[in-house]
Amino acid sequence: MSVIRKSEARLLSVGKPRPSRDPDVPYRVYIQTFGCQMNEYDTELVCSLLQDRGFVLTPDQDQADVVLMNTCAIREHAHTRVYSHLAEWKARKQERPVVIGVLGCMAQNLKKELMEAHPVIDVLMGPDSYRQLPDLLTNALDRRERAMAVDLSEYETYESILPERKPGVNAWIAIMRGCDNFCSFCVVPYTRGRERSRSVQSIVEETHALVGQGYKQVTLLGQNVNSYRSHDADFAKLLTEVADVPGIERVRFTSPHPKDFPPTLLDVVAHHPHVCRHVHLPLQSGNDRILDLMGRSYTRNDYRTLVNEIRRRGDVALSTDIIAGFCTETDAEFLDTYELVREVDFQSAYVFKYSERKNTIAYRKFPDDVAEAVKSERVTRLVELQRGISAGKNRELMGTEVEVLVEGNAKKSSDQWMGHTERNVTVVWDKAALPLTLGDRVTIKVDDASASTLFGTPVFPVNARARSSMDRALDYGSRG
């Protein structure tokens, strides 16, 4: 194995050069994204880096010279999906030459092992090496070189790169990368490396630019978003500065850790007129022994206290993540989680079956001893409990009016609009009822509700109403 480009990229093998081609015809790249919003954001970064170097993007994989998969490693299922795509491309590659690149967390997690087991992969790259992607793809295309770049960085934030965003209403900004928490079940600290934050100035400048491009809602992203720190600025300060940018209607953030919620942050979430009244607050378990094994650094009671602190300040919706069937979890310990979910009354919850991840603390120290059938049953019980709670909360909204940002077509029909309330509930309504465009804010009277969606009728555009965001801004200001 020889080393190319100073340190990180490793050249693994060189094949016969490709027949010469017209250098004026750009290479076409197809990219598929798995995993979380951070990966979606990274795909936008990768697209930007590639376009700057003359690659063009194609939505058609059959036309592509390069196929990239931006992968996830959080649960085994995420790996399985990528393996099946690799098997498919192995067959297709025999019909026509195409360069296959595997990017992201699975690449970082498995490294050489993945590359060696799957000769179909030409380029393997972890999340901190994307600046090298254009070079490695060019080498793979022109000289059939196989290479990988999987070094993690303590500094890379891609601060200077403007992501290639889809036009629309919503934009993501990654404000920090990496995670230092090392929850015992989680692979992220190994796939994303150490925590590092972008400067407040660069994030605020990017927000101004987004407003200029017509975006209305910004979601601040980080694996551990509220541990953001840049010089003396903490997350509450950054959130306020972003939400103060004129023209930004709504600011969201994900995912915070319950350990980093100082009162200043709670106040911003409860009162700033442009910060949405919604917190995604991953619980993982409601039992103290399991929380301790997970390394979550809070107890059931700490979590409850935080929920009360949030709710004491205002009507803020809460959603959560839960893992069922973690190592050694007993029925009684699971019931603690079940009871806490009932008590907290979340708006929604993502429930996951524990999936052992190689090299994590849990993998090294605890047995993955809850039977598959028991894990599945616990997931089903929690999902059913939460579905009932969500449906009940949504039904309570029937007959009321909710304020919605028009975000795009409904999933099921392009004759319907879809948007969210500030509390992050999905709302769907017929386009024919009122002429609206993307980015409008509108009041919807709720006629019907399921556990996941409100259905309604537009009453009038909010912009014409008395209680505009300016009024709310004045309210906030007068609160002092």
Query: Rule CB under 6 A: is residue 102 a binding residue for ligand F3S?
Result: no
Query: Rule CB under 6 A: is residue 79 a binding residue for ligand F3S?
Result: no
Rounded to a whole number of angstroms, the minimum distance from the CB of residue 360 to ligand F3S is 12
C-beta of residue 125 within 8 angstroms of C-beta of residue 69? no
Length of the chain: 480
Closest CA relative to residue 74, chosen from 323, 248, 245: 323
Q: Which is nearer to ligand SF4, 253 or 417 (CB)?
A: 253
**Token pair in block for residue 358:** 């190689």
Q: Which does 191 bind (CB under 5 to 8 A by kind): ligand F3S, ligand SF4, ligand SAH, none?
A: ligand F3S
Query: Rule CB under 6 A: is residue 188 a binding residue for ligand F3S?
Result: yes
297: how many CB neighbours lie within 10 A of its CB? 13
- Site track for ligand SAH across 75-114, x = CB under 6 A: x---------------------------------------
- Site track for ligand F3S across 44-73, x = CB under 6 A: ----------------------------xx
What would the DSSP string read from start to end of 232-246? TEEHHHHHHHHHTST
What is the phi/psi pair of residue 313, to 5°?
A: -85, -20
Binding residue (CB under 6 A) for ligand F3S from 9, 29, 31, 38:
38
Binding residue (CB under 6 A) for ligand SAH from 282, 286, 419, 458:
282
Binding residue (CB under 6 A) for ligand SAH from 70, 230, 284, 319:
284
Q: Which residues bind ligand SF4 (CB under 6 A)?
A: 179, 181-183, 186, 188-189, 223-224, 257
Cα–Cα distance, 169 to 388 (Å, whole number) = 31
Question: What residues have CB less than 8 Å from 479, skipping those under 6 apart?
Answer: 271
What's the CA dihedral at 331, 337, 343, 347 to 10 degrees?
-130
Q: What is the per-residue burial (b if ≥16 Cβ within 10 Å, else e) of 164-200?
A: bbeeebbbbbbbbbbbebebbbbbbbbbbbebbbbeb
Closest CA relative to residue 110, chosen from 359, 356, 363: 359
Rounded to a whole number of angstroms, the minimum distance from the CB of residue 71 to ligand SAH is 14
Rounded to a whole number of angstroms, the minimum distance from the CB of residue 29 to ligand SAH is 27
Rounded to a whole number of angstroms, the minimum distance from the CB of residue 185 to ligand SF4 is 7
Binding residue (CB under 6 A) for ligand SAH from 49, 110, 269, 323:
323
401-409 vs 441-449, strand pairing mode? antiparallel
Q: Which does 189 bind (CB under 5 to 8 A by kind): ligand SF4, ligand F3S, ligand SAH, none?
A: ligand SF4
Positions touching ligand SAH (CB under 6 A) are 74-75, 185-186, 188, 223-224, 255, 257, 282, 284, 321, 323, 352, 354-355, 357
